[in-house]
Amino acid sequence: MTTSPLSVGVISLGCNKNRVDTETALGLLADHGYVFTGDPAQADILMVNTCGFIESAKEEAIDTIFEMAEYKKSGRCRLLVVSGCLTQRYADALQAEIPEIDVILGVNQYAQLPAMIEKALAEQAPVVCCADDYSYYAHDRVLTTPPYTAYTRIGEGCSNRCTFCAIPLIRGPYRSRSEADVLAEIEQLAQQGVKEHILVAQDTTRFGTDDGGHTTLPELLQKAAAIPGVEWLRVLYCYPDETDDRLLDVIANTPNICKYLDLPIQHVNDTVLRRMHRRGDKADILRCIHGARERGLTLRTSIIVGFPGETEEQFEELLEVLREAEFDRLGAFTYSPEEDTPAARLPDQIPEEVKQERYDRLMMMQQEISLKRNQARVGTVEQVLVTAVNEDGLCLGRSHREAPETDGEIVFTLPRGAAVPEIGSFVNVRLTKADAYDLMGVME
């Protein structure tokens, strides 16, 4: 008598780098005969891949773990597996405070996941594995993105040691994947139908710098763009000090590389940047902005408001640069002190009400800038990747100017009598209207 394979339900929290870890875990489990379900009530094994980057992410992870633990009572769950950044950092506390967890896995131990599950099932006892040897484990993945889009991680860890960030404490120092491995993965994904390839790492511009040299990201992009089937190639998380003319020229001049620069600057005042322990300075940031604008690139950034010691004058300096730079996309966060980070011990912590007031001012200004930038695109025709189609023929999509999950969308209609486009196909859309986040148009 054969037994049915065990079903696994997985919840992935946090960033797209964590998503790649989740997809790697799914690939491993599939190879070992497990099947997957989207209904946690029907899962024999539930897995939560956690984020532990900031306090709100930790709270979301804990809430999700408790929610999944309830299925041990109300569903068919036999094992609760918890992995990722939160477990890497707080394995002992999680084991002590949430006894419902059966398997605790760190950020670089996915190769051991099937064996850990089997051991926990056989021994009916918790299994913990969070010792990190700082290796990089790659495996065929089960994509959780739509079939036309995938992320490829080109490095692991981070060596920047920003004073506000716990990532180096969790994932260790930066190490690049080999160029051959990255290109082989992109080629495999392209062969299975992925059209949009997005390169990610904690700092993509560190790629190839493990021996102390300059970034080899431009060379990697050129080789990846030449792979058959790569329709769009996008790179995220480029730091200003390594974003040089070589990189900007490759992005601007390679037809299938998205004309999009994600430049997380966090601040512009040199004193604040030094307190943050950011590589580069205001001059590097302005050089990147001007270089990107000269080449017609869409610009995205992220900002921290209310960092310890930030004065009103320093904040006004930030606003002035952002007002002049006119980033097309901007994400902002109020500073959150993270345990064991140097910034949490800095003097002159900013009151929450001051942080919020500065955040509100920044976002009000950015809303106007985003609207202006979007309105400047009205009347143009852009290539759009179709991401959804409803019964009335109303379609959603993105151009090369919109990264998935973080940026807005293009909502478009069809001309009378036109065939409904397939999801994952590319169409030309004439933009007719814009708001601060999304654009509207008609398919050509």
DSSP alpha helices (H): ranges in 32-78?
Answer: 55-69, 71-74
> What class has domain 7-129?
alpha beta
Residue 2 has pLDDT above 60, yes or no: no
Q: How many CB atoms lie within 10 A of CB 132?
A: 15
Q: Which of these, 15, 58, 17, lies nearest to 339 by C-alpha position?
A: 58
φ, ψ of residue 91 in degrees (nearest 5): -60, -45
Q: Which of these, 41, 114, 129, lies nearest to 84 by C-alpha position?
A: 129
Are 227 and 220 within 8 A, CB to CB?
no
Please report, as a single letter, which amino acid is at residue 388: A
Residue 203 CB contacts under 8 Å (≥ 6 apart), including other chains = 155, 158, 160, 174, 237, 239
Three-state helix/strand/coil letters over 339-379? CCCHHHHCCCCCCHHHHHHHHHHHHHHHHHHHHHHHHCCCC
- Mean per-residue pLDDT for 364-370? 98
- Mean per-residue pLDDT for 244-250? 97
Tokens representing 24 are 């790697």
Give the per-residue pLDDT at 38.
94
Are 118 and 82 within 8 A, CB to CB?
no
What fold is seen in the domain 381-443? OB fold (Dihydrolipoamide Acetyltransferase, E2P) (2.40.50)
User: How far is the C-alpha of 175 from the C-alpha of 119, rounded, in Å?
Assistant: 31
Give the per-residue pLDDT at 1.
41
User: How far is the C-alpha of 318 from the C-alpha of 392, rounded, in Å?
Assistant: 45
- Mean per-residue pLDDT for 38-49? 96
Lowest model confidence (mean pLDDT) among 54-58, 94-98, 100-104, 288-292: 54-58
What is the side-by-side strand order in the sheet with 149-153?
A: 149-153, 196-200, 232-235
φ, ψ of residue 377 in degrees (nearest 5): -90, -10
pLDDT digits (tens, 9 = 90+) for 377-417: 999 999 999 999 997 889 999 999 999 999 999 999 999 98
Kindly list the domain boundaries of the chain, sorted by start residue.
Answer: 7-129, 149-375, 381-443
Q: Which of these, 293, 217, 199, 216, lies nearest to 252 by C-alpha position?
A: 293
What fold is seen in the domain 149-375? pyruvate-formate lyase- activating enzyme (3.80.30)
